[in-house]
Amino acid sequence: MLKRSLITALAIVLALSSVPAFSHELTIKAHDETMKEGQPFPVTVQSAHKFIVPEEVEILERVKAGIIEDGKFIPSELKANEKELCIDFTVTPKDLSKSVILVATKDGESWCVTNEGGKSGARKELEAQGLKVLSANKYDKYAKAIFNTSHDDKNFAQVLGHPLEIIPVTNPADAKTGEYFHVKILLNGQPYTGPVWATYDGFVTEYENTYAYYTEAENGEAHVKITAPGWWGIRAAQSGLPGVEGDYDNLNLRAFLLFRVK
């Protein structure tokens, strides 16, 4: 009996250790910084543990990406780029009199920790195969990047309605090194309270899940001190939301806001 218990415990430890402690983060990166009205603008969707350092190609069927026009999401055609470990897409901005928002989202699949390691699939499906499911999680991810900002424009502050969304209060065109960048964060439309991470392109390329700044949002407000010029990303995460019986136990949300500090 003791031997059986030890074997079961070992199986659980091995199963847990087979799953990454942090899920890959969904981000957006452009090949250029300057948009031209009516001209194609190439962009990539990236998934990685390091900021804007691509690590894997997401499943195309689970990702949507495109541009926000007149408050509506216009999806782009996506193409997997196995060589560069990203997803390529192109947008064609029609109006550059205001800031432009690009969006990428991922509808995550159920990921289960089982007695045979980490496996994708709903809890009930894997249990029907005879596996012992220890936990089942779903990760939905939302990224948006703001381009073409100007000092007199307010388009940057659009609320898109993502379940977890970071909305800039500071105009990215006004962001300065040494000053605070203010954001509003909503969880299912309500003020979010919880951890917030921020970093900039090139801060760390050697280590995973390493950020330049940490703070906590209180009642939907967070403040990040800008410490360098370049592309910045602000990240929020909410774990342990109610799941769907038979599919996944917990829903986990991830959000990234990207903008450039000149």
Largest CA distance in the chain: 73
More confident residue, 50 or 22: 50
Tens-digit pLDDT profile for residues 57-110: 999 999 999 999 999 999 999 999 999 999 999 999 999 999 999 999 999 989
- At 13 the pLDDT is 42
Give me the count of residues in the chain. Answer: 262
Domains annotated for the chain, with CATH where assigned, are 25-110+136-261 (2.60.40.1930)
The strand pair at 133-147 and 248-261 is best described as: parallel
Contact 47, 25 (CB under 8 A): yes
Q: Rounded to two decimals, what is the model's pTM?
A: 0.89
Q: DSSP for 72-89?
A: EEEE---EEETTTTEEEE
Contact 89, 78 (CB under 8 A): yes
- Position 19 confidence tier, pLDDT thresholds 50, 70, 90: very low
Per-residue CA distances from 96 to 35, 36, 229, 237 (Å):
8, 8, 23, 32
Tens-digit pLDDT profile for residues 194-250: 999 999 999 988 899 999 999 999 999 999 999 999 999 999 999 999 999 999 999
Tokens describing residue 141: 């991810």
Q: Is the pLDDT of residue 20 over 70?
A: no
Tens-digit pLDDT profile for residues 23-71: 789 999 998 888 999 999 999 999 998 898 888 999 999 999 999 999 9
Contact 45, 89 (CB under 8 A): yes
Tokens describing residue 172: 């990215």
